[in-house]
Amino acid sequence: MARIKISKNFEKQLDLGEKISEYHKRLGDKSPLNNHFDMKGFDKSNVDASNHNEEKNKLEKLAENETELRDNIWAGNVKDIRSIAQFLKAINKDNPHELGKWGFEVDDSAQNKTDK
């Protein structure tokens, strides 16, 4: 017996929905889907889901752009944070826990060479 494969990918499912709708319309009154499925609702859902998918794609692109801008702006601060940590560590050699007051997490447990 033949198996019907339906992709889990949204875009492929949407494409399949559009093909079903197109063929249903082509058959018109002879379509076996008549009186069994709400094809007007099916078509509306195809359009609505497609519109939301397009908006999702735009927002994902916007999010990627914003993440890149954020990362580029923040890169200098990351460098400064590391420099500040090293500076404070150098001036507090005898009491590295002072860095905790600045918000740094201080871990003075023994480290394995593989932890680095």
State pLDDT tens for residues 18-46: 999 999 999 999 999 999 999 999 999 99
What amino acid occupies position 90?
A
Q: Where are the domains of the chain?
A: 10-105
What amino acid occupies position 66?
E
CA–CA distance from 71 to each of 27, 52, 63, 81 (Å)? Answer: 54, 28, 12, 14
So what's the pLDDT on residue 109? 83
Q: Are 51 and 30 in contact (CB under 8 A)?
A: no
Q: Report how many helices (DSSP H) and strands (DSSP E) the chain contains, helices first.
A: 2, 0
Average pLDDT of 80-103? 95
d(CA 61, CA 63): 5
Average pLDDT of 59-71? 98
So what's the pLDDT on residue 115? 54
d(CA 43, CA 20): 10
Mean pLDDT of the chain: 94
